[in-house]
Chains A and B, each alone.
Chain A
Amino acid sequence: MNKVLIIAEHDGSRLNPATNKCVRCAHDLGESDITVVVFAAEPAAIAAEAAKIDRVQTVLTVAHSAHAPLLSANVAPQVAAMASPYTHIFGPSTTFGKDLMPRVAALLDAAQVSDIMAVESARCFKRPIYAGNAIVTVEVEPGAPVIATVRTASFEAAATTESSAAIESISPEVTLPQHTRFVSMSAARSDRPDLQTANRVVSGGRALGSAENFQILYSLADKLGAAVGASRAAVDAGYAANDMQVGQTGKIIAPELYLAFGISGAIQHLTGIKDARTIVAINKDAEAPIFEVADYGLVGDLFQIVPELETLLSAN
């Protein structure tokens, strides 16, 4: 039987849905005993959320003022200290998980599987390489713990249940290092849906031309209840914030509907939207590579089409 430990991601008060996706991935391992661990200054509410996820048997909490916000330098040695009973240790393939899990793996002298997109067996997985242009099947050597990050776009969220797993507080005996200090966090606050979990995403590229012009996409997004994304070129040019970047080095997303305006469709961008259910591309260049992956393509000027779309969507 597998014993799986999942490191919860959260913002200090709420569980990030990425954690739930990790649990869903763990379901595919076969018969497993699943534990979620919450490192936080005040873990109670987060732990209560985690305890409701289907097939989570135990939630462990590690309360410490050093865990607000979470720093890998502090969390990794604590995970390593509690690792021995587990056959698998998973974190999400978000910037949080990517930062943390290799540090854990190295402390355990274990290799890591990055970005699990499918589980073949308890030690065999599929993962994307070369910006998703190839999918490799990998097998982890016998005996070693499987340390991995889970590509959240590849998994549905696990169901939540009425019953609640046992919640237990622990304190791993580790002296926390003093060499890493949090200074500040600047997050663009918005009432729009979160890019990584939104059902609909409206995204803009270099063609938008300015941050002001990007407003037409926000307006359309609000009409659709959509999140707003951007290509790297748009982010580099300062039209959009860095946390809006979609692609190989930005966010990998899987919305029901992705609308790309003035995005050429470079492979590094496409890798971020491969799992979108429906892709709509609007580009004035009929040869743009984005049309090769689009379910619906429309050749035209986005500055004309965006307002038209808004009007047509407002009609009934």
Chain B
Amino acid sequence: MKRILVPIKRVVDYNVRIRVKPDGTGVVTDGVKMSINPFDEIALEEALRIKEQGHAEEVVAVTIGGNDCQQQLRTALAMGADRALHVLCDEVIEPLVAAKILLKLIEKEAPILAILGKQAIDDDCNQTGQMLAALWDRPQATFASKVEIAGESVRVTREVDAGLETLEIDLPAVITTDLRLNEPRYVKLPDIMKAKKKPLDVIDPVSLGVTVTQRIKATHYAPPAARSKGVMVKDTAELVTALRSKGLV
């Protein structure tokens, strides 16, 4: 079966104002709104569209994390994923470990594509897709803003610093999504009901033969340096005078 794997991460919602704990041990996540990482929602939307165009038959959403992550998997199922895999794990999952776990799932599921977000908006690592592609020894197209399946390969337009780059990569492959790839659909109430009946398998990472290790230790968290308070000017002339006096224009 032609399958697409979509790894999704549960993260603090992008609208939440992040606060660092006063003791510097982390950021406050208790009681804050959690969501699917926005880039992963875009990845799921793209997978669903590829399926709707007839290029794939099944979309499988995957997450690695604690029990609470099932909320996001249910949302993914309500959006249209056919089934979900939950690799249950309470430890900190570094991108390399996530990639190793995803590789094990790929060996079982043999997808034609794995579509990931380009970055998780909590750790902002921007690593997992590329690492997965390397371990899988398959092509990668990161920062995708357009995806066109053409038989055994896929054309991907990428948002790079210099403009838009188009690559052609052979399937199977890894794609990571940028913001302008698509606009994710809204979940409708009946779909939420239907999603409850869709299969969601819980997997123990030990059964996959992956040891969860932490190779980079976070020792301290701090808020960013604040910018000093500026001044309001009353009109354009005053602005220009101020900028001139500082030698800025």
Contact = CB atoms under 8 A, between A and B. Distances in A.
A309 interface: yes
Q: Which of A107, A179, A279, A293 has the most CB of B within 10 A?
A: A179
B134 A107 contact: yes
B125 A112 contact: yes
Q: Which of B118, B124, B223, B233 has the most CB of A within 10 A?
A: B124
Contact of A309 (B14, B17, B240): B240
Given A114-B126, A249-B179, A296-B242, A224 B249 contact: yes
B18 A130 contact: yes
A74 to B, nearest CB: 11
A43 interface: no
A163 interface: no
Q: Which of B119, B161, B173, B221 has the most CB of A within 10 A?
A: B161
B121 interface: yes
Nearest to B163: A187
Interface in A225-261: 232, 235-236, 241-243, 248-249, 251, 256-257
B18 A133 contact: yes
Contacts of B239: 280, 296, 298, 309
Interface of A: 11, 69, 71-73, 76, 94-96, 98-107, 109-115, 124, 128-141, 144, 177-188, 196, 200, 224, 232, 235-236, 241-243, 248-249, 251, 256-257, 267-268, 274, 278-280, 291, 293-300, 305, 308-309, 312-313
22 contacts: A98-B142, A99-B140, A102-B129, A109-B96, A114-B124, A114-B126, A124-B219, A130-B121, A133-B17, A134-B27, A179-B138, A179-B139, A179-B170, A183-B166, A248-B124, A268-B14, A274-B224, A278-B246, A295-B231, A297-B233, A298-B239, A300-B236
A130 B27 contact: yes
Given A129-B124, A137-B221, A294-B230, 15 more contacts: A73-B133, A99-B143, A102-B131, A111-B215, A114-B124, A130-B18, A133-B18, A134-B18, A134-B222, A135-B222, A138-B219, A182-B167, A242-B164, A248-B121, A313-B240
Q: Which of B12, B133, B218, B243 has the most CB of A within 10 A?
A: B243
B1 interface: no
B248 A105 contact: no
Interface of B: 12, 14, 17-18, 20, 27, 94-96, 99, 118-119, 121-135, 137-140, 142-143, 145, 155, 158-170, 173, 178-180, 215-224, 227-228, 230-237, 239-240, 242-243, 246, 248-249
B223 A99 contact: no
B113 to A, nearest CB: 13
Given A274-B224, A296-B233, A141 B216 contact: yes
B18 A96 contact: no
Contacts of A188: 163
Q: Which 7 A-B pairs have the closest CB atoms?
A: A187-B163, A102-B130, A106-B134, A106-B131, A102-B127, A133-B18, A111-B215
Contacts of A141: 215-217
B160 A137 contact: no
Contacts of B128: 102
B216 A140 contact: yes
